[in-house]
Structures are given as structure tokens and as C-alpha cells.
């Protein structure tokens, strides 16, 4: 029974991209980096909100951790809607676009809180997660 549950969880994790509904939330000048959010992952508790986002790179980037190339990153952020802060909760760097392919680097160590910088991708994501105009 335990094996069945573990197998089911593995299959669900591998196919989670099929459930994600990534909506483009912006890109940098020249289209080198495109940003997406999955609004279906927004979870709010009091003034704190968590959300998954994704970043696609037009060309492969070399990981500073191990030198392996990656094309996309999935990131889970927590936003403080009241105090306008954010922190990274987890990140997964993938060999392919849109969070596909092998995981090159991952981290699930929460970062420290940082202020939302005006006109940044984090401000865009904060506005989406916190439903700000």
C-alpha cells in the first residue's frame, strides 16, 4: 500500500505541469527573460500570500551552483500584502523551458524578507498575489 501511495505521488509530481495554468506576467527588454504566474496556486492566510511563478530564459544559462545549463526556473514566493515585502520559499531550475526536463538545481530553504522594489518583477507578482491594482 505504501508503495502504491509513493508511486501515485511521483506520477502526480511529474505531471503537475499539465495542471499548471501559466499566465504571462511580463518580460524584460529584448525578451531574454519571460515571467509567468500560476494564479491557481495563490493561497492567502491573513496578510500573507503564497504563489508559484516561473521564469523562462531565451537562451540557456549556466548555473552558478554546478555549471549545468538551465532554461527555466519555478519559484514559490511568499508575499506580505500589508507590509509590501516578499521572500523566496523554494526554487527549482530546469534544463527545459516551462519547468520541463531535469531539475538542475533546487532549494527549499526560505529566504529572508525583502522590500518590494518598485517596477520590479516582484512588484508585479506582489500585485497579482495580493490583488493590488
pLDDT in tens, 61-70: 888 888 899 9
pLDDT value, residue 87: 98
Confidence at 6, pLDDT banded by 50, 70, 90:
very low
CA 12, 25, 52: angle at the middle one, nearest 5? 30
Burial of 126 (0-12, 13-18, 19+ CB in 10 A): buried
Phi, psi of 19 (to 5 degrees): -90, -25
CATH number for the domain running over 21-130: 2.40.128.710
The CA distance from 73 to 84, in Å, is 23
Residue bearing the bigger pLDDT, 133 or 83: 83
The CA distance from 21 to 115, in Å, is 27
Query: Contact 87/61 with Cβ under 8 angstroms?
Result: no
Query: Contact 21/38 with Cβ under 8 angstroms?
Result: yes
pLDDT value, residue 9: 42
Question: pLDDT, tens digit, for every residue of 104-128?
Answer: 999 999 999 999 999 999 999 999 9
pLDDT value, residue 1: 58
Q: pTM score, two decimals?
A: 0.81
Residue bearing the bigger pLDDT, 16 or 86: 86
Please tell me what DSSP assigns to residue 32. S
Question: pLDDT, tens digit, for every residue of 47-103?
Answer: 999 999 999 999 998 888 888 999 999 999 999 999 999 999 999 999 999 999 999
Amino acid at each position: 500500500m505504501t508503495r502504491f501511495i509513493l508511486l501515485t505521488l511521483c506520477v502526480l509530481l511529474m505531471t503537475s505541469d499539465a495542471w499548471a495554468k501559466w499566465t504571462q506576467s511580463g518580460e524584460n527588454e529584448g525578451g531574454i527573460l519571460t515571467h509567468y504566474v500560476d494564479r491557481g496556486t495563490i493561497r492567502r492566510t491573513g496578510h500573507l500570500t503564497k504563489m508559484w511563478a516561473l521564469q523562462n530564459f531565451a537562451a540557456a544559462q549556466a548555473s552558478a551552483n554546478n555549471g549545468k545549463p538551465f532554461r527555466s526556473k519555478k519559484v514559490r514566493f511568499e508575499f506580505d500584502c500589508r507590509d509590501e515585502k516578499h521572500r523566496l520559499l523554494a526554487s527549482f531550475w530546469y534544463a527545459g523551458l516551462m519547468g520541463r526536463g531535469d531539475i538542475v538545481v533546487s532549494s527549499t530553504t526560505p529566504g529572508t524578507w525583502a522590500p518590494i522594489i518598485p517596477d520590479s518583477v516582484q512588484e508585479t507578482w506582489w500585485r497579482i498575489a495580493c490583488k493590488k491594482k
